[in-house]
Amino acid sequence: MKRSGAASDDFKRVEAHDCPMSTCAAPAGSPCRTGKGKVAIQYHTARFRLVPQLAKMFSVPTPAVRKPGSVWTELPRPVSAGAEPVGHVRLGYARASTPRQSLDSQLDSLAEAGVTRVFSEKISTRATKRPELEAVVKLAGGIPSCGVAVTLVVHEHKRLGRGIELAMLAEELKASDVGLEFLAGELKGSHDPSGIVFTVLAAMLMRILEIGQCRSSLHFVGP
Ligand SMILES: [Zn+2]
């Protein structure tokens, strides 16, 4: 399918979804609206990211047929809306290390990225059990078997853990065919379970395990 040929239909794909931005909340079938109640000149990022083919676009313009800039009115909901299968599920996870730290900025960036279901907790990196992380990983892991792609979205990779912890989690996600997406930080981007980031993390895990083995064997050798 040619990108240029498909572009004219892009807005229909976007409008198959309700806009998740609370300030807009345009229902399916209607274009996005501005704070001043006009038809926005482009769709909100959080909305077009719900369409897998458009998720990587920087912007999706509102077509002339929707009269961008004119007074916004609600249009009839397309009959197909809601019936269209969701091909891709994006689940979010947010974590703050202490009860006093706020989760707001992480939750905002996840909402902005079009994540509709977020698991969050305030718990230290040193905690051995992180119930919400376990819950989202468990939920995500069961989805690909239904033929739906799933991505776990976090603000930064540190939210998932560091070193061996992160590497082990990546192994677990890869095993159940769950992708990872980081909105910021060194690993920023969307990573396929068969992609490079998972390969690097797996290699890191091997290396850490090897170092661990060397250390314990050196311990037995002694000085
Ligand atoms: Zn909108």
Q: What is the pLDDT of residues 114-133, one digit of tens each?
A: 887 999 999 987 777 899 99
Q: Where are the alpha helices (DSSP H) in the chain?
A: 3-14, 45-48, 104-112, 131-142, 163-175, 196-221
Q: Band the pLDDT of 79: cuts 50, 70, 90.
A: low
Q: Which residue has the higher pLDDT, 112 or 162?
A: 112
- Fold annotation for 88-210: Rossmann fold (3.40.50)
pTM: 0.57
pLDDT value at residue 7? 62
Rounded CA separation 49/52 (Å): 7
Instruction: Identify the weakest region by mean pLDDT among 25-29, 66-70, 133-137, 188-192.
Output: 188-192
187 C-alpha to ligand 1 centroid (Å): 28
Asked if the model's pLDDT at residue 91 lies above 90, the reply is: yes
Sign of the C-alpha dihedral computed for residues 172, 174, 179 and 182 taken in this order: positive
Distance 34 CA to ligand 1 centre (A): 8
Give the mean pLDDT of 137-164: 86
Distance in Å, CA 68 to ligand 1 centroid? 13
Residue 81 has pLDDT above 80, yes or no: no
> What pLDDT does residue 80 have?
53
The single-letter DSSP state of residue 151 is E
**What's the pLDDT at 5?**
43
Cα 51 to middle of ligand 1, angstroms: 14
> 116 alpha carbon to ligand 1 midpoint, in Å?
14
Residue 57 Cα to ligand 1 midpoint, Å, equals: 16
For the chain, the domains span 1-84, 88-210
Dist. CA 81–CA 170, nearest whole Å: 34
Q: Mean pLDDT across the stretch 58-81?
A: 87
Query: Looking at residue 154, what is its pLDDT?
Result: 95
Q: Which two tokens stand for residue 87?
A: 């091909």
Residue 91 Cα to ligand 1 middle (Å): 20
Is the model's pLDDT at 11 over the cut of 80? yes
Name which of 17-21, 77-81, 128-132, 141-145 the model is least confident about: 77-81
Residues with CB under 5 Å of ion ligand 1 are 19, 21, 24, 26, 32, 44
For the stretch 162-206, pLDDT in tens is: 777 888 888 889 888 899 999 998 888 888 888 878 888 888 778
Residue 218 has a pLDDT of: 57
